[in-house]
Structure 1
Amino acid sequence: MATVSKRSRLAVWKDVIFALFIRTIRSQFNDKFGLSWAVVNPVSFILILSVIRGRLEGGTTHTLDTFTFMACGMLTVQMFLSALGASAGVIKKNKALFAFRQVRPISAFIASGLFELLVKVLVLLSVVLAMYFLKIDILLANPLLFIIAQLAIFITAGAIGAMFAIATAFIPEIDKIRGMLTRPLFFISGVFFSLQDLPRDIWIYFQWNPILHAIELSRQAVSPSFGAVGVSLNFLLGCALVSLFISLCCYQVYWKRAISN
């Protein structure tokens, strides 16, 4: 007589996340270009903007090579926007799967986050490869600070996106509001400038933005000579922890109503 082995909840949860992760890869890149487009698109954008900024600045910006300066900004803001957008669309895209008892929104959020993290790692490696062929010095004085800053802004984006996903399940129009709120972030987050370029009197209008802190700290991690001012790692980590806590609270209270709405 055959014996039936009972798997633990953790094993089931792991298998569900892996299955959703594979499903996300197949659904996102089922065209001819596949995963390469997710890498080529941001890398080419960084190259074009770096060339334009380099001609204006003469090749260096605040002791950093202009390509490196722009790459830190572009990679960080693109990570935030892509993680936010992917997390905000999780419930809507996977709603049919939630009919299965084993599949819960938290698993879809984790799978989506892992996928976005994988894509951004590939983008980062492609940027480093482009710097090598362009004969640009590849420097990273403080790898730990760089990783912490990037992960903190990634967690912040995913947590905020989860809150938008839950809210959108009740009020679909909120998704349009999210699009309106994220458009200015590209221009006020320090992608094209440093806080050092601005008068101290107006710093307060930019320091509320955790993306700016992540970008400036990433540039500081690349080269200490950059001399980042007006930013704080503690503020960035605080934003990540607070947004994650609030999103988990909202999820715990509303996830059942969100998937059945």
Structure 2
Amino acid sequence: MAQSDPSAPKLRRVQEALPRFASMRTIMALILREMATSYGRSPGGYLWAILEPAAGVAAMVVIFSLGFRSPPLGDNFAIYYASGLLPFLMFVNTSSKTQQAINYSRQLLAYPRVTFVDALLARFALTVLTQAAVGVIIFTFIKVTMDTRTILDLGALLNAYGMAAATGFGVGVMNCLLVSRHAIWSTVWSVITRPLMLLSGVIFLHDRIPDPYRTWLEWNPLVHAVGEARRAFYYSYRGTYIDPVFTYGLALICATVGLLFLHSYYRDLLER
């Protein structure tokens, strides 16, 4: 009778784990590639990718704080504006980077080790890390240099960023499919979303918008993400309209539908 090899179960576990580790290595390689190609030739490298938007947001915060002395919440317009703008930028940047993932990595996707999911996750992860670093810089600068009279709820702020990032990924995956099939969709989407900052409560407090417009705007998931960020800084702000389940659920639906269609058609998209 042939004896069973005691090392066989361990070998099978190692073999099953290899694809997961290979995928992680692929994602890290794609992240490093994008950092090198996108920021490697600029002064300061990847550091400039963080400092440039941080400086731009800081300048916008200062300009708006000088023009609006009395924000809808609290006494400091800088923290009010930043708490709405930074989650919004998390969505804008994650969605725009994710939607170009296949076009950006088109040549690498010809290799069997590189999948479209790797390309999507690599661009998404790098953008989230970059925007998180920008947020840390801006919020720390405001809190250190100004008397904001706010108390930070870190859990609520992380939830707001998570809602914005999840929505950006879901929308980005859907747009990745549409952009890969119809290049004009990128231009159409940019035109459609131009008033999105005003419609997401970045400048105007959502609670002060009259009905029925307030109820209509609550179908915009970014309204919930921005409201959660405001609640993270203003402990007296209730934000009863905020619904994380709706936001995460919508993001999950968009991402699932987009991934299913990409799985079925992305090989055809590569030949376009």
TM-score, L = length of structure 2: 0.85
- The separation in 2 between residues aligned to 1:60 and 1:195, in whole angstroms, is 13
Among 181, 203, 227, the alignment partner of 1:192 is 203
Corresponding residue of 2:3: none
Superposition deviation, residue 13 in structure 1: 1.0
Structure 2 partner of 1:11: 21
Partner amino acid for 1:11? F
Alignment of 1:52-131 (within 5 A): 52-58=63-69, 60-63=71-74, 65-131=76-142
Identify which of 39, 43, 49 aligns with 1:32.
43
Larger displacement relative to structure 2 (38-47 or 164-173): 38-47
Matched length: 257
- 1:136 deviates by 3.3
SS of the residue aligned with 2:107? helix
Q: Tell me, yes or no, if the aligned pair for 1:83 and 1:161 is still in contact at 8 Å.
A: yes
Q: Output aligned runs, 1:208-219, within 5 Å.
A: 208-219=219-230
Q: 1:176 aligns with which of 160, 164, 187?
A: 187
Contact conserved, 1:98 with 1:104, CA < 8 A, in 2? yes
**1:110, CA displacement in angstroms?**
0.6
Counting only pairs closer than 5 Å after superposition, residues 230-245 of structure 1 correspond to structure 2 as 230-245=241-256
Q: Residue 102 of structure 1: SS of its match in structure 2?
A: coil
Please report the TM-score for the alignment, with normalisation by the length of structure 1.
Answer: 0.89
Structure 2 contact 173–254 (Cα < 8 Å) conserved = no
Question: Could you tell me how far apart the structure 1 residues matched to 2:39 and 2:134 are?
Answer: 15
- Mark the runs of 5 or more structure 1 residues left unpaired by the alignment: none
* Kept after mapping to 2: 8 A contact 1:153/1:240: no
**1:23 maps to 2:36:** no
| 8 Å Cα contact 1:140-1:222 kept in structure 2 | yes
RMSD between superposed Cα atoms in Å: 2.2
* Cα shift at 1:47: 3.0
Larger Rg: 2
